[in-house]
Chains A and B, each alone.
Chain A
Amino acid sequence: MESLLSGFSDIFDPQTLLIMSLAIVGGIVVGTLPGLSSVMAISLMLPIAYAFGPVMGLSMLGAIYTAALYGGANSAILLNTPGTPSSLPTAFDGFPLTRQGKAYRALYAALFASVIGGLFGTLVLIAAFEPLANLSLKFGPPEFFCLACLGLCAVAAISEGQVLRGLLSACLGLLIALIGQDPVSGDVRFTFGVYPLISGIEVIPALLGLFSLSQAMNILEATGSHIAPYKAEANLFGKLARKFRQSWSILLRSSIVGSIIGILPGAGGAIASIIAYNEARRTSKDPGLFGKGAVEGVIASEAANNAQVSSSLVPMMGLGIPGNVNAAVIMGALMSFGIQPGMGLLSNSSDIAYAFMASLVVSNFLLLGIGFYMVKLTARVLLIPSNYLGPGVIALCIVGAYAATYDIYGVWVMFGTGLLGYIMLRVGIPIGPLALGLVLGPIAEKGLAQSLQMAESETSLLSFILSRPISLVLIILCIAALFAALLVEKKTRLAETRRKELQDG
C-alpha cells in the first residue's frame, strides 16, 4: 500500500501529468481514426519513451493504450466502424443510437463506461496480478476452444428473428477465417495462389471493409443531407445518470467479465466485450432493444473493453509472458529500462511497477476529463454533409487498411470485404455474425487443433476436454447460452406485445 502511494506521488509530477494528458489526446485520436491501432501508436512512441526514462515513459505508453482502446468507441458509434475487434459490439448499438439522433448519449455512455471499466480492471491488476497470472496458465488449448465457442454463441443473440441468416453470415465468417496458414501444421490453405493471403484475411482491414466501406456506400446512396441529426438532448446527463444507476449490475458484470477474460493471453480482448454484450442482453428486461439502440449495449461492451486494458497486462507483469501485442511492446520498454517483468518484479523494481500501475489509475481519470471535452469535437463529424462524409470515410478506410498491414494487399482485402458487406446489407443478411466468425474463428480453430494434438496421448478428444474442469464449465455455459437465447426471444416477444398494448391503450 505504501509503495502504491509512493507510486502515485511519482506520477503527480506536473511534467508527467502533462505528458500523460498529451498521450491521452493522441491515444483518443489514434483510437478514433479507423485502422490506426494502439499497437501502432505505442511502438511509434517507444523511442520517445526511452528518452523520458522509466516512470514517465511507461506512464505515457499506458496512457496511450488506455485512451486508444476507448477511442475505438467513437468511430464505432459515429460511423459504425469498430477500429478494433474489441469495440465490435459497441457498434451494434452505438450506431443505431446515432441514427436516432442520440449520438451524444452513446458517446458519453461509452466514455463513462470505459472509465469505470478501466478503473475496475486496474484495481484488479494492482490487487492481485501475481496470483491471477498463475490462474491464466490454467487456460490451455481446450479452454480457448470452448471460450471461443461461448463467444460464437452470441451469434444466436445478435441475429434474433433471422436465425438462418445469422448462421449463414457466421459460417461465412468462419470460412473466411480459414484462409491462410493452418495454425498447427503450418500448411497453406485456400489462398488460391495469391501469396499474401498466406497471413490470412487481416482482421482490421476486413472490419474496415465490412462495416465502414459498406456504410460509406450506404451514406452515399441515401437521400438525406447528413447521416444523422446532430442535436443536443435536453437534460442529457440527468438521463445518463439514471441509466447508469439502473444498469449498475451490467456495468459490474461487464467489468468482471472484461477483467477475467482480459487476463487470458492471446484471445482475451476480442472475446471479452462480445461475452459481456451477450450477458447484458440476456439479463435485460427488454432484450429486443439490443441491436436497435440500447445504451446498455454500449455500456456493457465498453466497460468490458476497457477493463481488459489493465488486466491484459497481468500475465506480462506476473510471469513475463505478454498476453497481447500491446503488452508485448510495453514489456519490451520495461526490459530496455533494465526491468525484467515477471517473478520478482515487486521485490526488484517495485517502485517502477507501482508507479506504472498508479499511472493507469491516473490515466483513467485524465481520460474522463479530456474525453469529456473531446466528445463534443468528435461528434461534430455528424455536421459534415453526407456527400463529403462518404468519400471521407472511404479515404480513411484506404489509409487505415494500408496502415494496418503496411501493404496494398490490406487495401484489397478492405475493398473485397467492403463489397461483401455492401451486398449483405442489400440482401438483408446481418454483418455482425460474420465479423464474430472472422474474429473468433482462428482462436477456436487453433484451440481445437492443439487440443487434438494434446488428446493424442489420451483416449479421445471428448473425454479429454470433458475431464478438464474449466472446459467442462465453459461447455455447460455454451449450452446454457443457447437455451438462454430461446428464453430471451420469448421475453422479447412479451416486451413487444406489452409495448403495443401500451401504445394502443
Chain B
Amino acid sequence: MTLRKFYRLLITFCAFALLVLAVKPFTDESSLEDSYPIKPIKIIVPFKPGGGSDRIARVLDMFTKEEFGSSFIFVYKPGGGGHLGLRFLANSKPDGYMLGTYNTPDLVLGRMTGLARYEMDDLVLLGQIAFDANVFAASHDSRFSNMKGFLDEARQRPGKLRLGIAQPKGGNHLATLALIDEQKVDVSLVIFAGGTELASAVLGKQVDVGIGGLAPFLGSMDQTKFLAVTGSKRLQKIPRIQTMIEQGIPMNSGTGRVLMAPAGVKAFQLERLKNGLKNIFDNPDFQTELRKIGNEPAWLDGNQVTEYLRDFQTQAQHLLEKTGLN
C-alpha cells in the first residue's frame, strides 16, 4: 500500500518535472527582446561595501528601477585589487543578468602586473559613466603650495620626502612612478590599502603628500591642502587648484568608472543594457547625484573605452618594464 503510494508520488513528481521542463523553454522565449530584463540584474562590485566603486554603483542604482524595471542586486567580491571579482564576472554565465563595475586603467593593468586571471576578450564593455582625475593632497599646514614646489624640494633633498599612494599596482601607482621617473626625483613612496587609508595618512601627516581620488577628502576639506589635479582640466569642487599640466608638469591620469558584462551576452541584451546605461547617464539628476559624492560624470561608449585602454596599454608596457612593477 505504502509502496504503491510511493510510486504514485514518484510518477506525479516526474510528470510535474516534465511539465516544468516542457514549459521552461516557453518562459525563455517570452523573455526575448522587448521584455528583457524580466528579473533584477546582479552587479558585481569587486571591492568592499562602502568604497568609492560601491557609492558610484549605488548612485547608478537610484535610476535602475525606472530604466530596467527593478533595482540591482549588489554582490561584493573584494580581493586582488578588484581583479578577483572581475574574474568571477568573466566566468559567470552570460545571461544578461550579471554585470560588473571596475576602473580604468586598472582593467588592463591586471594582466600586465600578473594580478588578473582573465582576458579582456572575456568581458564586454558597456560604457564609462565617470572619469575622476586624481588629486595631490597634503595637510592644511603643509609648506608646499603646489606640486612644482614639492618636486623642486624633492630634487634638492633626495629620498627625504614621503609620497603616499592609494593602492599597490594600480593605475595611480604606475602614473606616479612615471612622474618620478620623468622628473628625475627621488622620494620615499608609502603605499596604502585604499583611498580612505591614504586620506587619514595625509591628514595625520604620515606622508608629506598623497595621491588619490578626491572623494575621501570631501569631509575634511578645511584640513586638506590640495596641490594639484592630475587630469586635463580643473575639478568643479576645487576650482582654484591647478592641474599638473598648468604647473608645467606633463601628467594626465585618472580613474574611469566602467561597467561591463561577461562576453557572450546576446546582442539584443547588450543593446538594451548599453542604451539603458546611456539613458541613465543622460539624466541630469544622475549627474547631479554623482557630483554630490565627488565624482565627475564623463561618458564613453564601450568602443571608446576599448580604444583608450589599447592606447594606454602600449604606453604602459615599457613603463612597467622600466619601473619594475610587473
Interface residues, chain A, CB within 8 Å of chain B? 39, 42-43, 46-47, 50, 136-141, 180-186, 188, 195-196, 198-200, 265-266, 315-316, 319-322, 325-332, 335-336, 338, 340-345, 405-407, 446, 450, 453-454, 456-457
State whether B50 touches A328 (Cβ < 8 A).
Answer: yes
State whether A332 touches B58 (Cβ < 8 A).
Answer: yes
Query: Given contacts A265-B197, A319-B219, A342-B218, are A335 and B55 in contact (CB under 8 A)?
Result: yes
Query: Given contacts A196-B84, A321-B199, A454-B206, are A343 and B169 in contact (CB under 8 A)?
Result: no
Q: Give the distance in Å from the alpha carbon of A454 to the alpha carbon of B61 in the complex.
A: 40
Question: What are 6 A-to-B residue pairs whose CB atoms are below 8 Å?
Answer: A181-B80, A319-B219, A319-B220, A320-B217, A330-B50, A450-B190
Chain B residue contacts of A457, Cβ below 8 A: 159-162, 188
Q: Give the distance in Å from the alpha carbon of A186 to the alpha carbon of B191 in the complex.
A: 9
Q: Which of A180, A321, A322 is within 8 Å of B220, CB to CB?
A: A321
Give the nearest-CB partner of B75 in chain A: A406
B216 in the interface (beta carbon within 8 A): yes
User: With A198-B115, A265-B197, A321-B199 given, can you name 17 additional A-B contacts, CB distance below 8 Å?
Assistant: A136-B200, A137-B203, A141-B201, A141-B206, A183-B191, A183-B193, A188-B115, A195-B117, A196-B79, A199-B80, A329-B54, A332-B54, A332-B58, A342-B218, A343-B220, A343-B221, A454-B207
State whether A184 touches B168 (Cβ < 8 A).
Answer: yes
State whether B223 touches A343 (Cβ < 8 A).
Answer: yes
Give the nearest-CB partner of A327 in chain B: B50
State whether A322 touches B218 (Cβ < 8 A).
Answer: no
Q: Report the minimal beta-carbon distance from B100 to chain A, rounded to whole angstroms.
A: 13
Q: Report the minimal beta-carbon distance from B37 to chain A, rounded to whole angstroms.
A: 17
Q: Report the minimal beta-carbon distance from A336 to chain B, rounded to whole angstroms.
A: 7
State whether B192 touches A450 (Cβ < 8 A).
Answer: yes
Q: Report the minimal beta-carbon distance from A132 to chain B, rounded to whole angstroms.
A: 13
Give the nearest-CB partner of B168 in chain A: A186
B199-236 interface bits toward A, Cβ cutoff 8 Å, 1 = contact, 0 = none: 11101111100000000111111110000000000000
B227-258 interface bits toward A, Cβ cutoff 8 Å, 1 = contact, 0 = none: 00000000000000000000000000000000
Query: Given contacts A450-B191, A450-B192, are A181 and B219 in contact (CB under 8 A)?
Result: no
Chain B residue contacts of A329, Cβ below 8 A: 49-50, 54
State whether B77 touches A407 (Cβ < 8 A).
Answer: yes
Query: Given contacts A335-B292, A343-B219, A454-B190, are A321 and B200 in contact (CB under 8 A)?
Result: yes
Which residues of chain B in 76-115 are interfacial with respect to chain A, using CB atoms and an 8 Å cutoff? 76-81, 83-84, 87-88, 113-115
Q: Report the minimal beta-carbon distance from B33 to chain A, rounded to whole angstroms.
A: 28
Chain B residue contacts of A42, Cβ below 8 A: 49
Q: Give the distance in Å from the alpha carbon of A199 to the alpha carbon of B193 in the complex.
A: 13
Interface residues, chain B, CB within 8 Å of chain A? 48-51, 54-55, 58-59, 61-62, 71, 74-81, 83-84, 87-88, 113-115, 117, 159-162, 167-169, 173, 188-193, 196-197, 199-201, 203-207, 216-223, 289, 292-293
State whether A138 touches B204 (Cβ < 8 A).
Answer: yes
Q: Which of A46, A182, A198, A316 is within 8 Å of B58, CB to CB?
A: A46
State whether A328 touches B49 (Cβ < 8 A).
Answer: yes
Chain A residue contacts of B48, Cβ below 8 A: 325, 328
Q: Give the distance in Å from the alpha carbon of A199 to the alpha carbon of B47 in the complex.
A: 11
Q: Which of B51, B83, B113, B292 is within 8 Å of A328, CB to CB?
A: B51
Q: Give the distance in Å from the alpha carbon of A319 to the alpha carbon of B206 in the complex.
A: 16
Query: Given contacts A181-B81, A198-B115, A199-B84, are A319 and B223 in contact (CB under 8 A)?
Result: yes
Q: Give the distance in Å from the alpha carbon of A265 to the alpha carbon of B169 in the complex.
A: 23
State whether B188 touches A456 (Cβ < 8 A).
Answer: yes
State whether B71 touches A453 (Cβ < 8 A).
Answer: no
Identify which of B76, B87, B205 gathers the most chain A CB atoms within 10 Å of its CB. B76
State whether B219 touches A407 (Cβ < 8 A).
Answer: no
State whether A332 touches B55 (Cβ < 8 A).
Answer: yes
Q: Give the distance in Å from the alpha carbon of A453 to the alpha carbon of B83 in the complex.
A: 25
Chain A residue contacts of B117, Cβ below 8 A: 195
Q: Give the distance in Å from the alpha carbon of A456 to the alpha carbon of B168 in the complex.
A: 18
State whether A331 touches B201 (Cβ < 8 A).
Answer: no
Q: Report the minimal beta-carbon distance from B29 to chain A, rounded to whole angstroms.
A: 31
Chain A residue contacts of B217, Cβ below 8 A: 320
State whether A335 touches B220 (Cβ < 8 A).
Answer: no
Give the nearest-CB partner of A335 in chain B: B293
Q: Report the minimal beta-carbon distance from A42 to chain B, rounded to whole angstroms.
A: 8
Top 9 A-B pairs, shortest CB-CB distance:
A320-B219, A342-B219, A328-B50, A199-B79, A186-B168, A137-B204, A186-B169, A140-B206, A456-B188
Chain A residue contacts of B201, Cβ below 8 A: 140-141
Chain A residue contacts of B205, Cβ below 8 A: 137
Give the nearest-CB partner of B74 in chain A: A43
Q: Report the minimal beta-carbon distance from A357 to chain B, rounded to whole angstroms.
A: 17
Query: Given contacts A186-B81, A325-B50, A407-B77, are A453 and B190 in contact (CB under 8 A)?
Result: yes
Q: Report the minimal beta-carbon distance from A264 to chain B, rounded to whole angstroms.
A: 9
Chain A residue contacts of B222, Cβ below 8 A: 343-344
Q: Give the distance in Å from the alpha carbon of A321 to the alpha carbon of B161 in the complex.
A: 24
Q: Report the minimal beta-carbon distance from A62 to chain B, rounded to whole angstroms.
A: 15
Q: Give the distance in Å from the alpha carbon of A345 to the alpha carbon of B222 in the complex.
A: 12
State whether A321 touches B114 (Cβ < 8 A).
Answer: no
State whether B292 touches A199 (Cβ < 8 A).
Answer: no
Q: Report the minimal beta-carbon distance from B217 to chain A, rounded to whole angstroms.
A: 8
Q: Report the minimal beta-carbon distance from A440 to chain B, rounded to whole angstroms.
A: 16
Q: Report the minimal beta-carbon distance from A49 to chain B, rounded to whole angstroms.
A: 11
Chain A residue contacts of B159, Cβ below 8 A: 456-457
Q: Give the distance in Å from the alpha carbon of A319 to the alpha carbon of B201 in the complex.
A: 12
Q: Which of A47, A315, A325, A446 is within 8 Å of B200, CB to CB?
A: A315
Q: Give the distance in Å from the alpha carbon of A322 to the alpha carbon of B52 in the complex.
A: 12
State whether A265 touches B196 (Cβ < 8 A).
Answer: yes
State whether B78 touches A199 (Cβ < 8 A).
Answer: yes
Chain A residue contacts of B83, Cβ below 8 A: 198
State whether A195 touches B87 (Cβ < 8 A).
Answer: yes
Chain B residue contacts of A316, Cβ below 8 A: 219
Chain B residue contacts of A343, Cβ below 8 A: 219-223
State whether B220 touches A342 (Cβ < 8 A).
Answer: yes
Q: Report the minimal beta-carbon distance from A273 to chain B, rounded to whole angstroms.
A: 21
State whether B77 touches A406 (Cβ < 8 A).
Answer: yes
Give the nearest-CB partner of A320 in chain B: B219
Q: Report the minimal beta-carbon distance from A407 to chain B, rounded to whole angstroms.
A: 7
Q: Which of B84, B160, B192, B206 is within 8 Å of A198, CB to CB?
A: B84
Chain B residue contacts of A322, Cβ below 8 A: 50, 196
Chain A residue contacts of B54, Cβ below 8 A: 328-329, 332
Chain A residue contacts of B190, Cβ below 8 A: 141, 184, 450, 453-454
State whether B189 touches A137 (Cβ < 8 A).
Answer: no
